[in-house]
Structure 1
């Protein structure tokens, strides 16, 4: 078979990379389930799913070729070639193409159903001639918080690797493609099992930028819930908790799947690649630990928020109590002099009413009482705020 140098080009009608104007983020979407009584192997494809584009990267130690295949049947000659063939299917929006693809690769209908009916729980299955790995890939959003998530399916054979991506707009495989194109590292000297490891490792490492963003968001929320607790801050804390739960649902079964690939022997995975998979498993453990840590921090933010709201309410009640305490004796004095006593009837009937300086004396007494109480509360430190943090105390 004639081979050409490695080159990249666009297809005649590439999919529109612009996402819909109103795209809803459902971080807590359930896994796919069949309708009760549905026939096994039934394919359920969303109406807005992008059509598939089949990209072939075929390489050997000394050369590599990339081309876009027009039909699934063009993949057939590469399944048993001595070179490593990476068939990357981007998009699942054509049922006929996906069924023909399953026929070319001799995929069991249940396997094809797991690949097409998304989302599935990450898992690994070892069949006679191929191994199936279902994963979840996350990529951070460019100009806002949050992330995109999609399913990526692997079908590993003796001389090929089939990957099926749910969305064609984005992935985290560019570094792997660059290594193949430039023959950097050892990827060209190994088989499709090492390629599967490299792609899986890229998926796991793709969690780190997302988690870095959540670490910064949680730090900002920690300051916000203490200094300016509000309903908007509370809603953002809830949103962070939901998104972290989605990350946990993605990485937890993925870790178990990698562990199964390391533990269970398979002729499709060499012992040397299993060693590399151990490093990938360690990264999955680190990601899971970070997700659990951030989930605990996000949960603790709720307690901090309630404490901050309680402190703010106590601060308001304290100010009202101080004001009431200062005016209680003044109200008492005014209330006494507001009573209708007649000093002509008895010298004990408030003789102060006839004093020449009675009115200024009454004001002097009230101001003295109010000032004394104000000074007493100030010395006690009751006017100091308890709902805001001193920057110097925070640094210490």
Structure 2
């Protein structure tokens, strides 16, 4: 996902149902996997073609299809035809730069949101579009690339966790969305520790490297905000959605998501404010240091004004000058200059200018 999504000129005027992949190709070949389960059994396998997916279509178990890679439009068309997807669904799946959204279709509930993670390899934040489709028996998850984000959910299924194994796809969708939001909170917590640690450095060593660090974190937080704020709107709509595919006993879980996403949103706002405050503190400290320097230079200049005046008079080449032919005249002049300088320093200190 680009930092700021751009629309290609070739896409202007296209029909909303036009199947065009709008995103970055992140895998060489689409991969498909399935977990089929109920209270007593689990079947997990890799799928080679869409026909294998069709064999699970009419089973009474819960079937979770996970598709990695979105660039092969023909495969997605086959899946759509097999399961009677609305064309808008496939168009939304292929639009990886769209805002998080929720739509209730006749045969599926469609949800899209951003998965935000920290890449150890790139040492940067990565954002991936996630699309979920579920009805009363089947859940599809479409990801841009293969990852282990949902491995904890898979382990809960494998380890016979009763709530997940005995529920329908709506609860599975909740578990997946909850995992995504947990990653939001984890990432914000990790960044938050680093942002808060800037306070100590800011006071002790307010240099240009600190300001660069603040600006870097500000960009990261703004980038994360682009995914979290729309997700908050989507989850609020999801918690209020009246759909045949969301059972009443599970509605409370979707309302829990509202609290979690609100916490993530609040954290984003808090860290943005903290970074802004740190930026202001930095400028205040630099300004204060500059004022101290200017204050010192001003006092230094003021002290030397009368000394320069005296030195200027005694630097003239006239014959008639006080103490010009006096043996100790030079030392008297230096003494007067020293007395004036000390007197001025004492006066400045008394006035608390020093």
TM-score (norm 1): 0.82
**Alignment partners' CA distance in 2, 1:318 and 1:145:** 44
Match of 1:38 among 5, 11, 14: 14
Q: Counterpart of 1:154 in 2: which secondary structure?
A: strand
Match of 1:52 among 27, 30, 49: 30
After TM superposition, list the pairs within 5 Å mapping 1:347-358 onto structure 2: 350-358=321-329
Give 5+ residue unaligned stretches, structure 2: none
Shift in Å, 1:145: 5.9
Match of 1:122 among 86, 90, 100: 100
Name the counterpart of 1:62.
40
Closer, same or farther: CA 284–34 of 1 in aligned 2, 3 Å: farther
Name the counterpart of 1:368.
339
Name the counterpart of 1:154.
132
After TM superposition, list the pairs within 5 Å mapping 1:61-210 onto structure 2: 61-142=39-120, 146-168=124-146, 170-210=147-187
**Alignment partners' CA distance in 2, 1:161 and 1:101:** 13
Shift in Å, 1:259: 2.1
Contact 2:21–2:71 (CA under 8 A) maintained in structure 1: no
**Alignment partners' CA distance in 2, 1:305 and 1:351:** 54
Moved more, 122-131 or 72-81: 72-81
Closer, same or farther: CA 29–224 of 1 in aligned 2, 3 Å: farther
Moved more, 290-299 or 116-125: 290-299
Moved more, 138-147 or 123-132: 138-147
Shift in Å, 1:91: 1.5
**Alignment partners' CA distance in 2, 1:150 and 1:181:** 26
Shift in Å, 1:146: 4.2
Q: Counterpart of 2:246 in 1: which secondary structure?
A: coil
Match of 2:282 among 298, 305, 308: 305
Contact 2:137–2:169 (CA under 8 A) maintained in structure 1: yes
**Alignment partners' CA distance in 1, 2:9 and 2:162:** 41
Cα deviation, 1:69-112, whole Å, max 9, x if unaligned, reads: 00122111212211111101112232222222222222122210
Cα deviation, 1:264-303, whole Å, max 9, x if unaligned, reads: 2111011111111111111011111111122222233333
Match of 2:253 among 267, 273, 276: 276
Name the counterpart of 2:225.
248
After TM superposition, list the pairs within 5 Å mapping 1:215-364 onto structure 2: 215-343=192-320, 350-364=321-335
**Alignment partners' CA distance in 2, 1:217 and 1:319:** 36
Contact 1:201–1:280 (CA under 8 A) maintained in structure 2: yes
**Alignment partners' CA distance in 1, 2:232 and 2:9:** 22
Closer, same or farther: CA 90–33 of 1 in aligned 2, 3 Å: farther
**Alignment partners' CA distance in 2, 1:381 and 1:68:** 79
Shift in Å, 1:138: 0.8
Q: Counterpart of 2:97 in 1: which secondary structure?
A: coil
Contact 2:22–2:97 (CA under 8 A) maintained in structure 1: no
Name the counterpart of 1:10.
none
Moved more, 284-293 or 27-36: 27-36
Closer, same or farther: CA 94–283 of 1 in aligned 2, 3 Å: same
Contact 1:215–1:294 (CA under 8 A) maintained in structure 2: yes
Closer, same or farther: CA 144–93 of 1 in aligned 2, 3 Å: closer
Shift in Å, 1:34: 7.2
Cα deviation, 1:221-245, whole Å, max 9, x if unaligned, reads: 3444454444443343333233222
Moved more, 267-276 or 361-370: 361-370
Q: Counterpart of 1:254 in 2: which secondary structure?
A: helix
Task: State how many pairs are aligned.
Answer: 352
Contact 2:67–2:140 (CA under 8 A) maintained in structure 1: yes
Closer, same or farther: CA 34–295 of 1 in aligned 2, 3 Å: farther
